[in-house]
Structure 1
Amino acid sequence: MFLVLKSVADDEIFLPNDEIWLYDIESGVWETHEMGGEVPPSMSGTCGSSLNGEMYIFGGCDDHGHTNQLYSVNLLDGMFTWRKVFSSGGIPPSPRDKLSCWVYKDRLIYFGGYGRKLLRELDNTRSFIVDEASWIEEVFWGWNNEVHVFDSSTAAWNQPRTHGLAPAPRAAHAGAMLGSRGYVCGGRVVETRMSDIHCLDLETWTWTEIVPVSLVPLGRSWHTLTAVSDSSLFLFGGLSVACTPLSDAWVFNVETKVWRELEHPHKDKPRLWHTACLGKDSDVIVFGGSRDYILLVDTGHCNDALVFQTHPYSLLRLCEDCIGKNAEVLQEQLLWLPPKLKQAILKRISFFRPAANLLKISYAA
Structure 2
Amino acid sequence: METGADYREELVVRERSGHTAVSEGNFLYVWGGYVSIAEHEIFLPNDEIWLYDLDSGVWETAAMAGEIPPSMSGTCGCSLSGEMFIFGGCCDDGQTNELFSVNLLDRKYIWKKRKHENGSVPSPRDKLSCWVYQDRIIYFGGYGHKLLDDLDSSTNFIIDEVSWMEDVFWGWNNEVHLFDPRINSWSQPRTYGRPPAPRAAHASATLGCKGYICGGRVMETRTSDIHCLDLKSLTWTEITSTSGLPVGRSWHTLTAVSDKELFLFGGLSVDCKPMSDGWVFDVETRKWKELNHPYKDKPRLWHTACLGRDSDVVVFGGSRDYILLVDTGHCNDALIFQTQPYPLLRLCEDFIARNSTVFQKELPCLPTKLKKAVEKRTVFFRTASAVLDQI
- With the shorter chain as reference, the TM-score category is over 0.9
> Structure 1 CA distance, aligned partners of 2:345 and 2:104?
30
2:276 counterpart of 1:252: no
Query: Greater relative contact order (Cα 8 A, min sep 6): structure 1 or 2?
Result: 2
Q: Is this contact kept in 2: 1:8–1:299, CA < 8 A? A: no
> Structure 1 CA distance, aligned partners of 2:281 and 2:259?
11
| Alignment equivalent of 1:207, drawn from 236, 256, 260 | 236
> Structure 2 CA distance, aligned partners of 1:177 and 1:216?
20
Q: Is this contact kept in 1: 2:127–2:142, CA < 8 A? A: yes
Q: Match of 2:301?
A: 272
For the residue of structure 2 that corresponds to 1:93, the secondary structure is: coil
| TM-score under structure 2 length normalisation | 0.89
Runs of 4+ in 1 over 4 A off after TM superposition: none
| Alignment equivalent of 2:47, drawn from 9, 18, 26 | 18
Gapped regions of structure 1 (runs ≥ 5): 356-365
> Structure 1 CA distance, aligned partners of 2:165 and 2:72?
23
Cα deviation for residue 316 of structure 1 reads 1.6
Relative to structure 1, the CA distance from residue 218 to residue 59 in structure 2 (aligned partners, 3 Å threshold; closer, same or farther) is same
> Structure 2 CA distance, aligned partners of 1:300 and 1:314?
36
Cα deviation for residue 9 of structure 1 reads 4.3
Q: Within 5 A, what are the aligned runs for 1:274-289?
A: 274-289=303-318
Q: Deviations over 1:230-253 (max 9, x none)?
A: 100000000001111100000000
Cα deviation for residue 61 of structure 1 reads 0.7
Counterpart amino acid of residue 273 in structure 2:
T
2:258 counterpart of 1:235: no
Cα deviation for residue 294 of structure 1 reads 1.8
Cα deviation for residue 63 of structure 1 reads 1.2
> Structure 2 CA distance, aligned partners of 1:298 and 1:327?
42
Relative to structure 1, the CA distance from residue 9 to residue 146 in structure 2 (aligned partners, 3 Å threshold; closer, same or farther) is farther
> Structure 2 CA distance, aligned partners of 1:68 and 1:10?
27
Counterpart amino acid of residue 108 in structure 1:
I
Cα deviation for residue 53 of structure 1 reads 1.1
Q: Deviations over 1:308-342 (max 9, x none)?
A: 00011112211111112121222122122122111
| Alignment equivalent of 2:161, drawn from 132, 142, 146 | 132
Q: Is this contact kept in 2: 1:87–1:157, CA < 8 A? A: yes
| Alignment equivalent of 1:321, drawn from 334, 350, 363 | 350
Counterpart amino acid of residue 343 in structure 1:
K
Identity of aligned residues (%): 70
Q: Match of 2:211?
A: 182
> Structure 2 CA distance, aligned partners of 1:170 and 1:125?
15
> Structure 1 CA distance, aligned partners of 2:135 and 2:370?
36
Cα deviation for residue 6 of structure 1 reads 1.5
> Structure 2 CA distance, aligned partners of 1:239 and 1:30?
28
Cα deviation for residue 190 of structure 1 reads 2.0
Q: Deviations over 1:237-270 (max 9, x none)?
A: 0000111110000000001000000000111111
Q: Is this contact kept in 2: 1:283–1:309, CA < 8 A? A: yes
2:112 counterpart of 1:83: yes
| Alignment equivalent of 2:61, drawn from 32, 35, 54 | 32
Counterpart amino acid of residue 300 in structure 1:
G
> Structure 1 CA distance, aligned partners of 2:284 and 2:113?
40
> Structure 2 CA distance, aligned partners of 1:329 and 1:242?
50
Cα deviation for residue 298 of structure 1 reads 2.8
| TM-score under structure 1 length normalisation | 0.95
> Structure 2 CA distance, aligned partners of 1:297 and 1:330?
50
Q: Match of 1:103?
A: 132
| CA-atom RMSD in angstroms | 1.1
Q: Match of 1:336?
A: 365
Q: Deviations over 1:251-297 (max 9, x none)?
A: 00001000000000111111000011111111101001111112114
State the number of aligned residues: 355
Q: Match of 1:360?
A: none
Q: Is this contact kept in 1: 2:36–2:326, CA < 8 A? A: no
| Alignment equivalent of 1:143, drawn from 165, 172, 179 | 172
Q: Within 5 A, what are the aligned runs for 1:149-228?
A: 149-228=178-257
Cα deviation for residue 125 of structure 1 reads 4.2
> Structure 2 CA distance, aligned partners of 1:327 and 1:73?
38
Gapped regions of structure 2 (runs ≥ 5): 1-28, 385-391
